[in-house]
Amino acid sequence: MMRYYTIVWLTVSVGGWCFVHAQTAPQILDQTTKTYAQLRALRLECRQEMVWTMKLQGSEMRSTQASQYQALAMRPNYLRMVARYEQAGTVTNEMGVWCDGKDLYIQNPMFQQTLKQVAPKTLREVYTEKNLEQASFMPIGLDPVYLMAHGNWRKIAGQPRLVKREKLGNRAVYRLSMPIKPPQMFQSLQGGSARTSAYQILWIGVQDRLIWQSQVVINLSDKQMQLAMRSTERNTRQELNPRLQPTAFAYKPPQGYEIVSEFKMPDFTGATSALKGQPAPEFALKDLQGKEVRLADYKGKIVVLNVFAHWCGPCRKEAPELEKDIWQAYKARDVVVLGVAIWAHDNPTKRAEEFAREFKLTFPVLVDAENKVAEMYKVIGVPTTFIIDREGIVRELVVGADVAAIKRAITALLDAPQQP
């Protein structure tokens, strides 16, 4: 009889203990947030892999980018966060945010500039979406530095779900999944008309309640295109409350970087702009019927040379406007539109045919399968349009989808007195 009561007592006690210590996903995330929010300092090392996949008209393009970053954070307002991107095993870019307690430095590798400002008073004001984006980071979801600085996961994440308990290497972890707010760049794509979803998976240590791995998945789709991004981060080292000195947050700009009070947009089109006033480079390409077409064939006409890619959203928006508002409106006045399809990842002729058929293009579309015209005309982005006069001189170029600007350039040439 005594044995029976002992078994009952143990069953109730153990069952009660398990019930009390049962963990829900919000409880686990609250404990993780508390762990980071109470820190005085943090050292973090991480490896990241970002995979982009785009599906368009039956074709799929994929790109992968690896990076590694290190972060040092210390209250009240010290931060050193540096990311190095890798290509074929070689570091190609370094970007980062530094705050040494007195000054805030934001290093942007695209601009080759470093923004210098007076340091904010708190880590929360240093680690912001705006500051990270200015350094070319894409802040997405929850991470240790965010939780240390802001101490509230509910601002950017929805209700979490506990998927299961499992092993990550030799470490027991909880795997949690939750919806998150997409980055601003995704929200603004396609003029806000696309459907966007985003969620994050976190692997949180059972014993230490630290984030050891994160995966963010973002999907965007509209009628023509599907875009997916998957970012996986593995935290390889975490030190809680390390002994850090203010000198660890000192900033030294790389050679050639300019310190600025506000970022100045570089002239990315410098080499392209240099073509203005020069003879348009001659080329010969095949059209969709396989006939060879030369730029010289149109001497004596005004040529609107539109360089595009079949997967480019702005190009797709611009194409029907070029057909209606430029080609149909001006062809009777010796104005010709030539479309040049570049940067196709597979079957360039087929992709150009599909593009022309979808938008009912009747002006000549040429296939630049080897991207020779893109190279000759120094094209760095699409769409780019060159307006060439009757003598074969480049008179204007328009970067981006801007049919109104193309119209103005054509009108200026039509109104100009012709040479006898």
For the ranges 36-50, 85-99, 261-275, 386-400, the lowest mean pLDDT is seen at: 85-99
CATH 3.40.30.10 is held by the domain 270-415: yes
- List the beta strands (DSSP E) in 122-278: 161-168, 171-179, 195-205, 211-221, 225-240, 258-260
Cβ pair 317, 305 in contact under 8 A: no
Structurally, what CATH architecture does the domain formed by 30-260 represent? Clam (2.50)
Question: What pTM, to 2 d.p., does this model score?
Answer: 0.72
Does position 34 have pLDDT exceeding 60, yes or no? yes
Tell which residue, 166, 167, 161, 178, has the closest CA to residue 216: 178
The yes-or-no answer on residue 18 being catalytic is no
pLDDT confidence tier of residue 419, bands split at 50, 70 and 90:
low
Cβ pair 116, 109 in contact under 8 A: no
pLDDT confidence tier of residue 418, bands split at 50, 70 and 90:
low
Does position 91 have pLDDT exceeding 80, yes or no? no
Cβ-proximal residues to 212 (8 Å cutoff; 6+ apart), any chain: 168, 171, 173, 203, 204, 205, 234, 235, 238
Summarised one tens digit per residue, pLDDT across range 250-277 is: 999 999 999 999 988 776 677 788 899 9
For the ranges 1-15, 101-115, 292-306, 346-360, the lowest mean pLDDT is seen at: 1-15
Mean pLDDT confidence for 143-162: 97
Does position 139 have pLDDT exceeding 60, yes or no? yes
Average pLDDT of the chain to the nearest whole number: 88
Residue 223 neighbours by CB distance under 10 Å: 7
Higher-scoring residue by pLDDT: 266, 207:
207
Summarised one tens digit per residue, pLDDT across range 324-348 is: 999 999 999 999 999 999 998 778 9
Which residue among 46, 99, 312, 315 is the active-site one?
Answer: 315
Mean pLDDT confidence for 159-165: 97
Domain ranges of the chain: 30-260, 270-415
DSSP line for 303-320: EEEEEE-TT-HHHHHHHH
